[in-house]
Amino acid sequence: MEPSSRLPSILSFVHAAERGSFAAAARALGISSAAVSKNVASLERSLGVRLMNRTTRSLQLTGEGQAFFEKARVAIDALDEAIDTVAAQRAEPAGRVRLSTGNAFGNRYVMPILPQLIACFPALSVEVDFDDRRVDLVKDGYDLALRGGWIEDSSLVSRHICMLRSVLVAAPSYLSEHGVPRTCGDLERHRKVAVRFLTGRVARWAFREGGAIEEMEPQAPVLTVSAPEAAVEAAVLGVGVAQVGVHHAWDHVRDGRLKVLLPDQHDAGERELALQYPHRALLAPRVRVTVDFLLEKLAQSEALHVPPERLREFAA
């Protein structure tokens, strides 16, 4: 099939499949029914398969026709979106943006900057779900998700924000009463605050031993919580030693309410925080400006980008 006739043939087929007749497709395209029929027949000859069965009253897609229709519809939508995107470059981004984020991170880092986003783009309607479960962006209808962990889903676009490293901390008041642990073994006699995930698993503490990383579950914790921010608060209140995310603890560490423990032995991990969204031929303006805004503002957050070596300045 000649390139010049390929697109008209595909458009004729898609419109006929959607509207159920050549006549309806012809009216939508502004051509004759005979031209639609000729275009569809030409497409079938080019592909070497029958795409639809015709009667005088109806059209019925074949299995091959249904498969081709689904792919062709996506391609046409992408072309329409390309046109809309170019036209929208001079227009204000508008519409709903759905974002999924964890409870602790969303409340601490996303909520404070959302008023700026809305002020910059008043035609946006932002819908945020605070949920620690892993959502399916496509199935659940989200435009964006902020995810922490080991990012593996290659079907999504992932924009790196920062590394999510952990740190071992305790309050100065607790350390003055119970002493400062100098080795991993010293932790056995200390009170510990543990964090339990939604899966029921307790977060393990990791240490570097002779070039290897050894993990341990905090034994006999005096307190177990399901929220990382609660573990930080417990440590500040002097309950015991806690392993928490640097981004949750940084303000308290910097201000002296928490001290860093065993910085040369504790392993901070290599989890990542990423902004993810589905692969699309083109990104809608409402989503594009939200992505750019979040990346810019989160890059400016000191707590999300604390160098490991700086934590040593606050060691007990």
Sign, CA dihedral 133-136-139-141, equals: positive
> Are domains 95-164+271-305 and 166-268 of this chain identical in fold?
yes
211 contact partners, CB below 8 Å, separation of at least 6? none
Q: Is 256 helix (H, G, I), strand (E, B) or coil?
A: coil
Q: Is 26 helix (H, G, I), strand (E, B) or coil?
A: helix
Report the pLDDT value the prediction gives residue 91, as an integer from 0 to 100.
65
Residues 217 and 202 sit within 8 Å (Cβ to Cβ): yes
Residues 205 and 243 sit within 8 Å (Cβ to Cβ): yes
- Maximal CA-CA distance, the chain: 91
Report the pLDDT value the prediction gives residue 89, as an integer from 0 to 100.
56
Q: What is the pLDDT along the chain (316 residues), one digit of tens a residue?
A: 566 678 889 999 999 998 888 988 898 899 999 999 999 999 999 999 999 998 777 788 999 999 999 888 888 888 877 777 666 555 678 889 999 999 989 999 999 999 999 999 999 999 999 988 878 887 788 999 998 887 766 678 899 999 999 999 999 999 999 999 999 899 999 999 999 988 888 999 999 887 788 888 898 999 999 999 999 999 999 999 999 999 999 999 999 999 999 999 999 988 899 999 987 666 888 999 999 999 999 999 999 999 999 999 999 9
Report the pLDDT value the prediction gives residue 138, as an integer from 0 to 100.
77
Nearest to 195 by CA among 149, 148, 241: 241
CA–CA gap between residue 243 and residue 215 (Å, rounded)? 12
Helical segments of 30-158, H only: 33-47, 63-88, 103-105, 114-120, 137-140
Alpha carbon of 205 to those of 35, 66, 208, 274, 281: distances in Å? 71, 53, 11, 23, 42
Tokens of 111: 């909520």
Report the pLDDT value the prediction gives residue 40, as an integer from 0 to 100.
92
**Residue spans per domain, the chain:** 3-88, 95-164+271-305, 166-268
Give me the amino acid identity at 220: A
Report the pLDDT value the prediction gives residue 54, as an integer from 0 to 100.
84
Task: State the fold for domain 166-268.
Answer: D-Maltodextrin-Binding Protein; domain 2 (3.40.190)
Nearest to 260 by CA among 205, 142, 181: 181
What values do phi and psi take at 22, rounded to 5? -70, -35
Alpha carbon of 276 to those of 96, 101, 138, 160, 236: distances in Å? 17, 11, 11, 9, 33
Report the pLDDT value the prediction gives residue 270, as an integer from 0 to 100.
82
Report the pLDDT value the prediction gives residue 135, as an integer from 0 to 100.
81
Exposure of 219 by Cβ count < 10 A (0-12 exposed, 13-18 middle, 19+ buried)?
exposed
- Under CATH, which number does the domain 3-88 receive? 1.10.10.10
Task: Work out the end-to-end distance of the chain between its first and last CA atoms, rounded to an integer number of angstroms.
Answer: 75
Q: Which long-range contacts (CB under 8 A, 24 or more apart) does 313-316 make?
A: 314/253, 314/254, 314/256, 314/258, 314/259, 314/260, 315/259, 315/260, 315/261, 315/263, 316/170, 316/172, 316/175, 316/180, 316/259, 316/260, 316/261
Angle among Cα 117, 118, 122 to the nearest 5 degrees reads 130
Alpha carbon of 182 to those of 92, 164, 179, 260: distances in Å? 58, 24, 9, 11
- Under CATH, which number does the domain 95-164+271-305 receive? 3.40.190.10
